[in-house]
Amino acid sequence: MINKAEAKQRITRILTLMERKGIGLLVAYSNVLKPDNIFYLTGYNLAAGEAWATLNKEGEMQLWLSEEWDLQRAAETSWATNIALIDSLQQITINKWQECGNAVLIGKELVPARYETTMQMFLANAPSGSKFLEEAALVKSSEELEILRKAANIADLGFMKACQEAKPGIKEYELLAEIEYIMRLNGATDNFQLMSSGTHSSGMVVGRNKKLLPGELLLFEITPAYGSVTYSAQLCRTIYLGQPDRQLQEKYTILVEAMQAALDIIRPGVLWNEVYNVQNKVISEAGYKEYCGPPYMRTRGHGFGLTQSFNIDENNKIPMEPGMVLVVHPNQYLPETGYLALGEMVVVTENGCEKLSGLPMELFSC
């Protein structure tokens, strides 16, 4: 999925960051539910089980995986120097991790308790390196951006399918199945979906055994992945089942204006929290200042994949750089309408930003 030239650039970037932070050894752990750490570091995308990997300051990488049947695929896709089974991970190797002194453990929070017997000292002493890898992954390469564009296009196709199939009588889970099918058909390798239907929703949930009714708002959060969950694109939109009245149109316009205000300021050097502030400013000036906080909203967006913990909130003062990718969503509860959804991924460019979705920012109806 990632070619050798891109892999070499990635490892060089990671090694440079390791030197700057005084790290001599990266140790990473992933399981099949959270495969991002190992995938980003080694190129191996877990299909089952778990894996460990190391990268030292000389650029030597080793990979251990739990599934013997997947060794060949790991050898074909990973850029690790040596690949073996976890069963062959010797105590002497683990002791060397401990003796390194300046090692960090990526995915420390995921390591199962059973490793306490063989790694007790290392697990106790090694600081978490998860934030390190997140920082390394903030700026995407041109190849990564192309993968994300494909994922965003798949998200568009999924929402367009929702517009075609949404009608009174269909159940939420049936509609989500239609969305899932069209996205898988177009190359999605994973998908996380939330939706809600009703006349006054408080947010989005997993699909229910509930029939859609005329006059309801349908809220969607569609997040297909292309190749790996590391490369997922999120899209949030709202459909009205029928002909929306003037009040609903006006209230949704507030979200559109907040989104546009965010897109207008995103460029290199702008702080993430400025994108949060400008969205809140628009919504506050529309008369909803008291709703610009929990429980009516949480953040105004976030990173994704490895960088999902980087929120667009009042505390994030990281300056934006070209190649950073973030989800911007002024999703908002309003007392007159209930929760409304609008959001999508954007790439920070040299002079501004690129919107990855080709869909208009508007209230849809069908």
Q: Can you name the CATH fold of 142-365?
A: Creatine Amidinohydrolase (3.90.230)
Domain boundaries, the chain: 4-136, 142-365
> What pTM was estimated for this model as a whole?
0.90
Residue with tokens 């959804």: 341
Q: What is the pLDDT of residues 91-149, one digit of tens each?
A: 888 888 988 879 999 999 999 999 988 888 889 889 998 888 888 888 999 899 999 99
List strand residue ranges (DSSP E) for 215-341, in order.
Answer: 217-226, 228-232, 235-240, 301-302, 325-328, 332-334, 338-340
Contacts of 99 (CB under 8 A, 6+ apart): none
Q: How confident is the model at residue 74 (pLDDT cuts 50, 70, 90)?
A: very high
Domain 4-136, CATH homologous superfamily name and number: Creatinase/prolidase N-terminal domain (3.40.350.10)
* Per-residue model confidence (pLDDT) at position 3: 79
Looking at residues 288-301, what average pLDDT do you find? 92
* Per-residue model confidence (pLDDT) at position 162: 97
Predicted confidence (pLDDT) at residue 227 exceeds the cutoff of 90: no
Antiparallel, parallel or unpaired: β 343-348 and 325-328:
antiparallel
**Are 339 and 251 in contact, with CB atoms under 8 Å apart?**
no
* Per-residue model confidence (pLDDT) at position 226: 94
Q: What is the pLDDT of residues 8-34, one digit of tens each?
A: 889 999 999 999 999 999 999 999 999
Looking at residues 248-274, what average pLDDT do you find? 97
* Per-residue model confidence (pLDDT) at position 1: 67
- In our burial notation (b when 16+ CB lie closer than 10 A, e otherwise), range 348-358 reads beeeebebbbe
Helix 91-100 with 116-125: angle, nearest 10 deg: 10
Average pLDDT, the chain: 93
Looking at residues 200-211, what average pLDDT do you find? 91
Looking at residues 305-326, what average pLDDT do you find? 88
**Are 251 and 233 in contact, with CB atoms under 8 Å apart?**
no
Ranked by mean pLDDT, the top range of 6-10, 76-80, 207-211, 352-356 is 352-356
DSSP assignment of 14-78 equals HHHHHHHHT--EEEEEEETTB-HHHHHHHS---SSSEEEEEEETT--EEEEES-GGGHHHHHHH-
